[in-house]
Amino acid sequence: MTASASHFLVDARGSHDEVDRALVQQHLDESEFFWLDLHRPSPDEIGMLGDLFALHPLAVEDASHFDQRPKLDSYDDFVLLVAYGANGDSDGLVEVHCFLSDSFLITVHRDDCPAFRELRRRTARDPSFITRGTPLLLHAVVDALVDSFFPELTKLDDRIDDVESAMLQQPTDAQLHEIFHLKRRIVGWRKIITAQRDLFTGIVAGVVDLPGMNAETERYYRDVYDHLIRISDLVDSYRDLLTGAMDLYLSTVSNRLNVVMKRLTIVATVFMPLTWIVGFFGMNFEALVRGVVGWPMFLVLGIVTQVVAVAVMLVIFRRRSWM
């Protein structure tokens, strides 16, 4: 892969998926600002961050250790920003480590990052947007990461609606497992979004400085902060919806169990007089069965009385709305 025509966006992986160090060194020597994106970097590529870019050893160590909270660390001539976006993986998150200085922006991530595809298309249409300033390029990256949550939240909303509709028809164990899976995802998102929102609160308030930050660029980061607040509210609402969906599942299962028990109780109750009639005339006492002579008497006592008993009980059940 080669640099873009403007030489401001660098995707410096060659035919063997190795970073073209000569190309990176050329951009550094020519003092051309560029963006280097490293997806699933190898140990050699992580070491390159210290060799070619002279990044602090602690920053290089952070680049090789993921599952970190969103944070912003300032060093002498660059900052390290850990931000999150959304994707279609099992946990639904992509962690991106951003190294920003006056000369370059380096992004490091292990998971697939769909948000960067749109940035690449945007760069192909208008390469000049990278040259507007380092904070604005970092804003474009974090804005794409934050906005990537909205499509995934829409999919989550649709999935919750589908699960609730299916539960009203026929609740199954698979639906309960789906609810637990979605709840684990939303809990993970909430933990990340809350920390990322607090981080951008500090950036917008001026507690943490970014290279080249001014009043104009601060407005862009305030927009990202606003999006994070919206996402945080959506995450909380979907968490409540999932809790309601679980309650709906339990209520539906309980109601269906009550219906089943009601029907079984009706069947058992119907058979009670039949059992009594059969048991009474089945007792081994001659005086009780002496009058049962011939088929007509057998039909009256053995069949008609049982049919009448069942009919009377059904009438009583319907009048009392038991069935």
Domain co-membership, 171 together with 287: no
In a shared domain, residues 93 and 226: yes
In a domain, 247, yes or no: yes
For residues 110 and 246, membership in a common domain is answered with yes
CA atoms within 13 A on the CB side of 247: 6
- Residue 59 lies in domain: 9-253
Residue 6: per-residue pLDDT: 35
Per-position DSSP letters for 209-278, written without gaps between them: --TT--HHHHHHHHHHHHHHHHHHHHHHHHHHHHHHHHHHHHHHHHHHHHHHHHHHHHHHHHHHHHHHHH
Does residue 205 sit in the same domain as residue 309? Answer: no
Mean pLDDT within 194-211: 84
CATH number at residue 211: 3.30.460.20
Name the nearest CA neighbour of 54 among 3, 99, 110, 108. 99
- What are 97-151's pLDDT values in tens digits? 999 888 888 999 988 888 888 787 777 776 666 655 577 888 889 999 999 999 9
Summarised one tens digit per residue, pLDDT across range 269-322 is 777 777 766 676 666 555 555 656 666 766 776 677 778 877 887 787 777 766
pLDDT value for 8: 42
Same domain for 168 and 218? yes
| pLDDT for residue 16 is more than 60 | no
Residues 129 and 58 in one domain: yes
Pair 203, 165 in one domain:
yes
Helices (H), the chain: 21-29, 43-51, 57-64, 114-125, 134-147, 149-169, 173-204, 215-281, 286-289, 294-299, 305-319
* 129 and 239 fall within a common domain: yes
Do 277 and 201 share a domain, yes or no?
Answer: no
Query: Is residue 178 in some structural domain?
Result: yes
Let me know if 122 is exposed, middle or buried by CB neighbors in 10 A (0-12, 13-18, 19+). Answer: middle
Q: What's the mean pLDDT when you consider all of the chain?
A: 80
Residues 6+ away with beta carbon under 8 Å from 152: 86, 87, 88, 92
How large is the average pLDDT for residues 81-91?
Answer: 89
Say if residue 58 is in the same domain as residue 156.
yes
Domain boundary among 235, 253, 271: 253
CA 156 to chain centre: 6
In the numeric block, the tokens 């966006």 are attached to 9
Report the domain count for the chain: 2
Query: Does one domain contain both 193 and 291?
Result: no
Does residue 23 carry a pLDDT above 70? yes
78 and 172 fall within a common domain: yes
- Give the domain-ending residue among 234, 253, 272: 253
Task: Write the pLDDT tens digit of every residue in 248-263.
Answer: 888 888 877 777 787 7
Domain end, chosen from 208, 237, 253, is at 253
Phi, psi of 66 (to 5 degrees): -100, -165
pLDDT at 229 over 90: yes
Q: What is the mean pLDDT of residues 230-239?
A: 93
Question: Could you tell me the two tokens for 143?
Answer: 């804005």
Confidence band of 231 (pLDDT split at 50, 70, 90) = very high
